[in-house]
Amino acid sequence: MYENICRCAAGAVAGLGARRDYATAEQLPCVEAHDAHADYPMYRMDLLRPAQVSSTSGFRGRFKDLGLMIKLLARTLTIAASILSLELARRKAKQPGSP
């Protein structure tokens, strides 16, 4: 579903996906090839949510989950800032009288 949104948005949307399988924590095959051929910007993190094979649980596990969520938020904000910066530069270049 999200891939269709990215594909149909004509560059107005970027994708953020995992590099690793949630069930095994192993590297997903063909991620680089998929991203290289995507018609939209694609960003990756190892995981977007905790892996099912996580060895920590309870209180310690929650801190590990929180760390992952903070990294996800930081990555999302970085991507959004980058996209906004590119869009503002594009609009400025289209203004009459721009060099």
Query: What tokens appear for 31 in the block?
Result: 């991620």
Domain extent for 41:
2-94
Are 52 and 22 in contact by the 8 Å Cβ rule? The answer is yes
Task: Quickly state the pLDDT bin for 76 (edges 50, 70, 90).
Answer: very high
Domain-embedded: residue 49: yes
User: Mind listing the pLDDT tens digit for each residue in 20-66?
Assistant: 998 888 999 999 999 999 988 899 999 998 877 656 666 666 777 88
Instruction: Count how many domains the chain has.
Output: 1
Domain-embedded: residue 66: yes
Residue 54 contacts by C-beta under 8 Å, 6 or more apart in sequence? 61, 64
CA distances from 45 to 2, 42, 87, 91, 97 (A): 16, 10, 23, 30, 41
Domain-embedded: residue 99: no
- pTM to 2 decimal places: 0.73
Would you state the pLDDT for residue 56? 60
